[in-house]
Structure formats: C-alpha cells, structure tokens
C-alpha cells in the first residue's frame, strides 16, 4: 500500500493535530504549540495556513461552529485521532530502540 502523502507526520503537522484535540483558531494554535514545545516550535503564518488547508483536505481536522464569525476554529476529527494513535505507536517503537531494546522482541 502506498504511504499517505502526509505520513510520517512532520513536526508541524504533529503539533497541529495534537493541539487541535481541543478547538482552536489558527493564531491560538500557534500560541498553544509554542507553549507545548517549550518555545522551540513557532509555526509561521504561511506554514499554518497551508497546514490547515492540507489537513482539512484529508478530513483530519474539521471546522467547528463558534461565536467568532471572523476566525475559523478547527478540531481534530476521529480520523485525525486515528492517525495520531498510529503515529504514537510508530514513535514508541523508535523510542524503545533509543532506550536499548534490540527491536526483535516485544513492542
């Protein structure tokens, strides 16, 4: 099977999907991600816009109805959460290799 275009998730996509487990608009997302990453990831405006468009295209996030008529608010969809779960497994495997497992047993 051909791998999905967005997989494995880039750092940007990873943080956005994680941040959007609660509904947020673009700029609030950037702020939250900056906080989540202890200041090491600051997603620029154009990158944020493109990432949102991309994630919407694959239905990994979806717009949420809110009072704010000017700013669109988004949230990670069930499909997006599945992607996150799969990525978590993949990363856990890699982490276990970091931590000395030889990769042949368990995991």
Site map for other proteins, 41-80, x if CB under 8 A? -xxxxxxxxxx------------------xxx--------
- Tell the smallest beta-carbon distance from residue 103 to other proteins (Å): 29
Full strand arrangement of the beta sheet holding 61-64: 24-25, 73-76, 61-64
Least separation in angstroms between CB 87 and other proteins: 16
Tell me the closest approach of the beta carbon of residue 86 to other proteins, in angstroms. Answer: 19
Smaller CB distance to other proteins: residue 47 or 96?
A: 47
CA distances in angstroms from 5 to 14, 35, 99, listed in the order given: 14, 28, 29
Q: Is 11 in the site for other proteins (CB under 8 A)?
A: yes
Distance, CA of 30 to CA of 104 (rounded, Å): 39
Indicate the residue among 33 and 80 with the shorter CB distance to other proteins: 33
- By CB under 8 A, tell whether 12 contacts other proteins: yes
Q: What are phi and psi of 62, to 5 degrees?
A: -145, 155
87: Cβ contacts below 8 Å, ≥ 6 apart: 7, 8, 9, 14
Question: What does the binding site for other proteins look like in residue numbers (CB under 8 A)?
Answer: 10-12, 25-27, 30, 42-51, 70-72
């Amino acid at each position: 099977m051909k791998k999905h275009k967005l997989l494995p998730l880039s750092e940007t996509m990873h943080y956005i999907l994680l941040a959007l487990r609660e509904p947020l608009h673009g700029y609030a997302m950037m702020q939250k991600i900056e906080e989540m990453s202890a200041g090491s990831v600051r997603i620029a405006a154009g990158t944020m816009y493109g990432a949102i468009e991309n994630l919407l295209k694959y239905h990994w996030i979806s717009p949420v109805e809110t009072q704010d008529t000017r700013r669109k608010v988004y949230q990670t969809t069930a499909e997006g959460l599945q992607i996150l779960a799969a990525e978590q497994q993949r990363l856990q495997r890699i982490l276990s290799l970091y931590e000395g497992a030889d990769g042949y047993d368990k995991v």
